[in-house]
Amino acid sequence: MTPSSSARPTAWDVIGIGCNSVDFVNLLPAVPQPQGPNAKMRIRRQIVSCGGQMTTAMAACAKLGLRAKYVGVTGTDENGRRLRATMAGYQVDMTDAVIRDAPNRFAVIILDESTGERIVLWDRDERLSLRPREIAPDVLGSARLIHVDDEDQEAATTAARVAQSVGVQVTSDIDRLTERTEELVLAVSIPIFAEHVPLTLTGRKDPESALRHLRRKHDGLLCVTLGHQGALALDGDRAIHVPAFRINAVDTTGAGDVFRGGFIYGYLQGWPTEQVLRFANAAAAVSCTRLGALAGVPELTEVETMLAESQSTATP
């Protein structure tokens, strides 16, 4: 698996098109329950941390050493200003991001301190929808790779088709099922799914059979993240499963987004699929050891350390 070669000059290694968020994280001693002693509990700690599928993925790409640009819609409120300032600090270009007179997208995250697992409650003003015409074709052609999510599916599908028409590879973050999901899947070069999507989309009972069913319509690399079980890819007819790293999770928020950033990094290096998945798993694992989505994004050296320590542990 190698990215397509081209003699055209590129200003960016990756351009991400999609979701951003400001997260209000509430740390709790356990998972709330509707009945019993956990029906009421005191919040141990609150933090505000920027996140969002695409902004987290682009921050991960930038910290790993890629030239990254973000295209999406931010608001004019304090959260929008916070998000833009944070992304600038991660060296992610925001010059083509849209600023619209509306409150920025936000999420309330309930985090179980005992496991690192979380529940995400979010809201977004409809005025923050990204329109296809707001993505310039020449911007799409200025990157080695385009990464889209499924927040604004019409814009993502249009961008993916334009990018592929000029020879630019397109990866995706697909974590929900709508009437346009299949259209988006077929528009991208490398669909990367959340665990439940291929199963629901195909009606199959396990991830591998679901990917093989999707292979009937899509001949590219197919990938699905599996949480604590790692990741699975279908490369041609070969299924490749790479287990997750064993860690003591502090916060799993953003792990899937960091996985995609790690995947993009490895893919652009021209690595074999198994190596790409292992690197992406390591990046996601490091991110789970600290609080916050963007705050959990690792440096390249941290991912390499995770890989090296895992290798030394596995060696007799």
Q: What does the mean pLDDT of the chain come to?
A: 93
Percent of the chain at pLDDT > 90 equals 83
User: Where exactly are the structural domains of the chain?
Assistant: 12-19+53-104+129-314
What's the rounded mean pLDDT across residues 31-47?
89
From CA 109, how far away is CA 292, in angstroms rounded?
Answer: 10
pTM > 0.75: yes
pLDDT tens-digit readout, 286-306: 999 998 888 899 999 999 999
From CA 177, how far away is CA 225, in angstroms rounded?
Answer: 16
pLDDT tens-digit readout, 73-115: 999 999 999 999 999 999 999 999 999 999 999 999 998 988 8
With a cut of 70, say whether residue 7 has pLDDT above it. Answer: no
What's the rounded mean pLDDT across residues 18-38?
91
DSSP summary character for residue 58: H
Q: Give the list of residues 6+ apart from residue 302 with CB closer than 8 angstroms, or none.
A: 286
Of 77, 75, 83, 70, nearest to 23 by C-alpha is: 83
Q: For residue 1, what pLDDT is reported?
A: 58
Q: For residue 67, what pLDDT is reported?
A: 98
Which helix or strand (DSSP H or E) is residue 118 part of? strand 118-123
The sign of the torsion formed by the CA atoms of 255, 259, 262, 264 equals negative
147, 262 contact by CB (below 8 A): no
Please report where in the chains the tokens 């098109």 appear, as a residue: 17
From CA 272, how far away is CA 180, in angstroms rounded?
Answer: 31
Total residues found in the chain within this entry: 316
Confidence class of residue 312 from pLDDT cuts 50, 70 and 90? low
Please identify, in words, the CATH class of the domain defined by 12-19+53-104+129-314: alpha beta
With a cut of 60, say whether residue 316 has pLDDT above it. Answer: no
Q: For residue 65, what pLDDT is reported?
A: 98
Of 196, 109, 181, 192, nearest to 145 by C-alpha is: 192
Q: For residue 315, what pLDDT is reported?
A: 39
With a cut of 70, say whether residue 200 has pLDDT above it. Answer: yes
Q: Which residues pair with 108 in a beta bridge?
A: 24, 121
Half-sphere exposure of 79 (CA within 13 A, CB side): 24
Confidence class of residue 8 from pLDDT cuts 50, 70 and 90? low
Percent of the chain at pLDDT > 70 equals 96
- Helix or strand or coil: residue 109? strand
Neighbours of 256 (CB within 10 A): 22
Tokens, residue 178 = 């709508």
From CA 115, how far away is CA 37, in angstroms rounded?
Answer: 18
pLDDT tens-digit readout, 229-243: 999 999 999 999 999
Q: Which residues pair with 240 in a beta bridge?
A: 233
With a cut of 90, say whether residue 156 has pLDDT above it. Answer: yes
DSSP summary character for residue 190: B
Q: For residue 5, what pLDDT is reported?
A: 45
In 243-289, the DSSP E strands lie at none
Confidence class of residue 2 from pLDDT cuts 50, 70 and 90? low
Q: Which residues pair with 98 in a beta bridge?
A: 73
pLDDT tens-digit readout, 262-289: 999 999 999 999 999 999 999 999 999 9
